[in-house]
Amino acid sequence: MKEYVLLMFSAALVNNVILGRFLGLCPTMGVTTRLDAAVGMGMATTFVMTISALAGWTVNTLLLVPFGLGYLRTITFILIIASAVQFTEMVVKKISPSLFKLLGIYLPLITTNCAVLGIALLLVEGKLSFISSILFALGSAMGFSLVLVIFAGLRERLAVMDVPRLFAGPPIAFIVVSLLALAFMGFSGMGAS
């Protein structure tokens, strides 16, 4: 049990997908102008990342490894992620057309989110068990969502601050995210005893 908690903690905070691995920077800058958009995107990404990890581990273990098709891994994972997004979109549309109209906006953005592919490939590299893979993907996605929400909150405040004209807009946002990355580096100094 302890190892699962540590795995999730490590994936979410110590090796944060945005601030530690520098993946998924496009949505980080693109959808963090509003807090509600960041929450919507974060939850959609968490769902897709977990489903992709489930499907990716299954395909890799049952098809790619036994048949020596490791060279097809990247393209297979891209297909899996695109299918997971399409599946999610169809399901949300079926569950409630109103919800689809409200949340469908975030789903296509996930297809081009390199964090989802990056995590799927990291899972294979780490040779994790099934349940560990799912928890690692979930922890990474929660870390991703956490940074989106923190950053969106900071940007909402930045929008009404008196920022020097030279730094207004993306420059100050990058400075803020770099300070956030420094803060997250503090987690790497924590040891489990």
Partner 1 sequence: MDEPLHSTADFSAPPVIEGIAHVVAIEGKFAWLEPEQTTSCGSCASASACGSKGIGTMANRLEQRRFRIANDANLAIGERVVFGIHENVLLKGSFTAYAIPLATLLLAGSLAQWQFGSDFITMAAMVVGLVIGLGISRWVAGRLHAKGDLDPLFLRRARPGETCNS
Which residues of this protein are in contact with partner 1, per CB under 8 A?
A: 26-27, 29-31, 33-37, 39-41, 43-44, 46-47, 50-51, 54, 58, 91-92, 94-96, 98-106, 108-109, 111-112, 129-131, 134, 138, 156-157, 160-162, 165, 169-170
The residue among 49, 59, 64, 71 whose CA lies nearest residue 140 is 49
Q: CB nearer to partner 1: give 74 or 129.
A: 129
Distance between terminal CA atoms of the chain?
Answer: 15
Query: Considering the complex, what minimum distance in angstroms separates the CB of residue 116 from partner 1?
Result: 13
Number of H helices, E strands in the chain: 9, 0
Q: CB nearer to partner 1: give 65 or 157.
A: 157
Query: Considering the complex, what minimum distance in angstroms separates the CB of residue 173 from partner 1?
Result: 9
**Three-class DSSP category at 51:** helix
Query: Considering the complex, what minimum distance in angstroms separates the CB of residue 56 from partner 1?
Result: 12
Q: CB nearer to partner 1: give 78 or 187.
A: 78
The residue among 41, 22, 21 whose CA lies nearest residue 31 is 41
Under 8 Å between Cβ of 29 and 170 = yes
Query: Considering the complex, what minimum distance in angstroms separates the CB of residue 26 from partner 1?
Result: 6
Q: How far is CA 128 from the centre of its chain?
A: 18
